[in-house]
Amino acid sequence: MNKNVEVQDLGVKDYKECWDFQEVLFKKILELKIKNRREETDLPTPNHFLFVEHPHVYTLGKSGDKENLLVNEEELAARGATFYKINRGGDITYHGPGQIVGYPILDLDNFFTDIHKYLRLLEEMIIRTLDEYGLKSSRSEGETGVWLDVGTPFARKICAMGVRASRWVTMHGFALNVNTDLGYFDHIIPCGIRGKAVTSLNAELGVKEVPLQEVKEKLLRHFAELFEAELTKEDTTV
């Protein structure tokens, strides 16, 4: 099993361009797995972890309801935002400046073949990172992602998740609100869940800005611990 994960920080990248790049990496892993099975070889499959920050964009998962987007195309354009219906799980969410988006593209055969465990460990990575900032976060039963004040009238989501998996290869991932303009969430019913708010790390801490690189380093440290992975950092962009 190859537990090495190549980490790339893509900086600010158009959503569709990054989605296409994910698909290339995803398909290469799948093709290698198929080749190994057909030819009875044992070539190691690679693993990737992409960090990216997207310009304003709304994405709708394959089982999502477009009615949860509360503005039309003209209003989207006026706000400098785009919209994509995509092939991940989950409903609608927002990506934009000040948000850390992470796309682990892993062959879970290298780690464990359990998609629920995979999601729970991603949530745990976020929970442990927020704990370092003095924030007590948790899961909300039946609702993937990470929340604050679960079980109270003040429950609010700080990290959304939605993934795709085929032959135990993953893509898409998580979106952690760090310095995010939360006003953009007013134009959707986030994750299709009515009556619950969203929040961000800087809003919870009462500061203007939290250094994104600092948060990324904490996320990677917890990811490596939870997945028992070895990380290799690359400076390559697409």
| 58 labelled ligand-binding | no
| 91 labelled ligand-binding | yes
| Active-site amino acid positions | 191
Question: Domain spanning 4-234 has what CATH number?
Answer: 3.30.930.10
| 89 labelled ligand-binding | yes
Residue 145 CA to residue 172 CA, distance in Å, equals: 14
Helices (H) and strands (E) in the chain, counts: 5, 12
Domain boundaries defined on the chain: 4-234
| 93 labelled ligand-binding | yes
Per-residue pLDDT tens, the chain, 238 aa: give them: 899 999 999 999 999 999 999 999 999 999 999 999 999 999 999 999 999 999 999 998 887 788 888 888 788 888 899 998 988 877 888 999 999 999 999 999 999 999 999 999 999 999 999 999 999 999 988 888 999 999 898 999 999 999 999 999 999 999 999 999 999 998 877 655 556 789 999 999 999 999 999 999 999 999 999 999 999 987 654 4
* Three-class SS state of 138: strand
* pTM for the whole structure: 0.93
Please tell me the predicted confidence (pLDDT) of residue 192.
52
| 151 labelled ligand-binding | no
Buried b (16+ CB within 10 A) or exposed e, 117-144: ebbebbbbbbbbbbeebebebebbeebb
Please tell me the predicted confidence (pLDDT) of residue 89.
76
| 92 labelled ligand-binding | yes
Local structure of residue 107 (DSSP, 8 states): B
Contact 179, 98 (CB under 8 A): yes
